[in-house]
Structure 1
Amino acid sequence: MARSGNRGNSQPRWLFPFVVTVIFLLSVLPLGRLAATGIASALQGHARQMLSDPSLWQSVYDTLTTSFFGMIAAVVLGGSFALLLTLFDIRGKTALGFLFMLPTMIPPQVTALSWIGMTGPSSALLKAVGLAPPMGTPNPLYSISGIALLYGVQNAPLVFLSLRAGLLALPRDGVEAARLAGASSWQVLKDIILPLSLPGFAAGAAIAFVSCVGNFGIPAILGIPASIYTLPTLIYAKFATFGPGTFADVSLLSAIIGILSMIGLTIEERVLRGRDYRVIGLSGQVAVFRLGIWRILAELLLWLTIFTILVMPLTALVASSLAPAYGVPLSPATVTIKAYEEILFRQSITRTAFTNSITLSLATAFGLLVVTVLTGYFLVRGKSRFAPLIAALAEIPYALPGIVLAVAFILVFAAPLPIVGISIYGTIWIILIAYFSSFLAVSLKPVVSAFRQLDPSLEEAARLSGAKFGRRMADIIVPLVAPAAGASVILVFLIACNELTVSALLWSAGTQTLGVAIYNLDDSGSFNLASALSVLVVIMVIVMMLVLELLANRLPKGVVPWRS
Structure 2
Amino acid sequence: MQSASSSEKVTLLLVVTGATLICGLPLLLLFKTGLTDTTGLNVGPLLEALQNRSVKRALWHSIESSFLSALAATVLGTILALLIGLTNIRAKGLLVFLILLPMMIPPHVTAIAWIQALGPASPVLRWLGLAPELGSTHPLYSREGLVLLLTLQHSPLVFLLTRAALRSFPRELSDAARISGAGAFTMLRRITLPLLGPALLAGFALAFVAALGNFGINALIGIPARYTTLPVLVWRRLASFGPDILPNVAVISVILAFVAFTAILLQSLLQRRMRASLIGLPQDPLAISLGRKRPYIEALIWLLVASVLLLPAASLLATSLVRTYGLPLSLDTLTLENFVEVLWRQTVTLRAFANSTFVAAAAAVLIAGTSLLLGYFLSHRHRAHRRWAEFALTQTEIAFAVPGLVMSIAFILAFIRPLPLVNVSLYGSLWIILLAYLSVFLAVGLKPVAAAFLQMDGSLEDAAKVSGAGFFRRITRVFAPLTAPSAASGAILVFLTAYNEVTVSALLWSTGNETIGTTIFNYEDGGYTTLAAAMSAVVVAATVLIMLAMNVLAKRVPAGTIPWKD
| TM-score interval (norm. to shorter) | over 0.9
Matched, 1:537 2:539: yes
8 A Cα contact 1:86 1:167, kept in partner? yes
User: Which residue in the other structure is 1:416 paired with?
Assistant: 418
User: Which residue in the other structure is 1:193 paired with?
Assistant: 192
Distance 1:550 1:10, change over 3 A: farther
Distance in structure 1 (CA, Å) of the matches to 2:364 and 2:392: 20
Distance in structure 1 (CA, Å) of the matches to 2:105 and 2:86: 27
8 A Cα contact 1:173 1:282, kept in partner? no
Matched, 1:482 2:488: no
SS at match of 1:505: coil
8 A Cα contact 2:66 2:212, kept in partner? yes
Distance in structure 1 (CA, Å) of the matches to 2:530 and 2:455: 48
User: Which residue in the other structure is 2:10 paired with?
Assistant: 14
Distance in structure 2 (CA, Å) of the matches to 1:474 and 1:49: 54
Name the amino acid aligned to 1:194. Answer: L
Distance 1:175 1:458, change over 3 A: closer
User: Which residue in the other structure is 2:45 paired with?
Assistant: 46
1:520-549 alpha-carbon deviations (Å, 9 max, x no partner)? 000111111101111111112112222333
8 A Cα contact 1:350 1:514, kept in partner? yes
Distance 1:482 1:187, change over 3 A: closer
User: Which residue in the other structure is 1:143 paired with?
Assistant: 142
User: Which residue in the other structure is 1:88 paired with?
Assistant: 87
State the Cα distance separating 1:554 from its structure 2 match: 6.4
8 A Cα contact 1:357 1:514, kept in partner? yes
User: Which residue in the other structure is 2:506 paired with?
Assistant: 504
State the Cα distance separating 1:553 from its structure 2 match: 5.2
8 A Cα contact 1:161 1:561, kept in partner? no
Name the amino acid aligned to 2:132. Answer: P
Distance in structure 2 (CA, Å) of the matches to 1:557 and 1:207: 26
User: Which residue in the other structure is 1:32 paired with?
Assistant: 28
State the Cα distance separating 1:353 from its structure 2 match: 0.8
State the Cα distance separating 1:480 from its structure 2 match: 3.5
Name the amino acid aligned to 2:13. Answer: P
Distance in structure 1 (CA, Å) of the matches to 2:531 and 2:344: 12
User: Which residue in the other structure is 1:400 paired with?
Assistant: 402
8 A Cα contact 1:78 1:160, kept in partner? yes
1:213-240 alpha-carbon deviations (Å, 9 max, x no partner)? 1100101111123332110010000110
Larger displacement relative to structure 2 (471-480 or 548-557): 548-557
**Unmatched segments (≥5 aa) in structure 1:** none
Name the amino acid aligned to 1:542. Answer: V
**Unmatched segments (≥5 aa) in structure 2:** none
8 A Cα contact 2:489 2:560, kept in partner? no
Matched, 1:154 2:153: yes
Distance in structure 1 (CA, Å) of the matches to 2:263 and 2:483: 35
Larger displacement relative to structure 2 (458-467 or 93-102): 458-467
Distance in structure 2 (CA, Å) of the matches to 1:450 and 1:555: 16
Distance 1:556 1:36, change over 3 A: farther
Larger displacement relative to structure 2 (432-441 or 262-271): 262-271
8 A Cα contact 1:124 1:329, kept in partner? yes
State the Cα distance separating 1:464 from its structure 2 match: 2.3
8 A Cα contact 2:448 2:489, kept in partner? yes
User: Which residue in the other structure is 1:348 paired with?
Assistant: 347
User: Which residue in the other structure is 1:278 paired with?
Assistant: 277
Distance 1:552 1:376, change over 3 A: farther
8 A Cα contact 2:352 2:513, kept in partner? yes
SS at match of 1:503: coil
Name the amino acid aligned to 2:306. Answer: F
Matched, 1:323 2:322: yes
Distance in structure 1 (CA, Å) of the matches to 2:479 and 2:25: 31
Distance in structure 2 (CA, Å) of the matches to 1:190 and 1:239: 49
User: Which residue in the other structure is 2:432 paired with?
Assistant: 430
TM-score, normalising length: structure 1:
0.94
How many correspondences in the alignment? 560
Distance 1:23 1:212, change over 3 A: same
Write out aligned runs for 1:210-249 (5 A).
Answer: 210-249=209-248
Name the amino acid aligned to 2:405. Answer: I
Distance in structure 2 (CA, Å) of the matches to 1:257 and 1:221: 20
Identity of aligned residues (%): 43
Distance in structure 2 (CA, Å) of the matches to 1:323 and 1:538: 18
Distance 1:329 1:505, change over 3 A: same
State the Cα distance separating 1:413 from its structure 2 match: 0.9
Distance 1:126 1:47, change over 3 A: same
Distance in structure 2 (CA, Å) of the matches to 1:394 and 1:382: 22
Cα RMSD (Å) of the superposition?
A: 2.2
State the Cα distance separating 1:555 from its structure 2 match: 6.2
State the Cα distance separating 1:452 from its structure 2 match: 3.9
User: Which residue in the other structure is 2:443 paired with?
Assistant: 441
User: Which residue in the other structure is 2:550 paired with?
Assistant: 548
1:465-501 alpha-carbon deviations (Å, 9 max, x no partner)? 3233333334443334333333333222211111101
SS at match of 2:9: coil
Distance in structure 2 (CA, Å) of the matches to 1:326 and 1:505: 28
8 A Cα contact 1:357 1:513, kept in partner? yes
SS at match of 2:379: helix
SS at match of 2:512: coil
8 A Cα contact 1:217 1:501, kept in partner? yes
SS at match of 1:12: helix
8 A Cα contact 2:157 2:206, kept in partner? yes
User: Which residue in the other structure is 2:164 paired with?
Assistant: 165
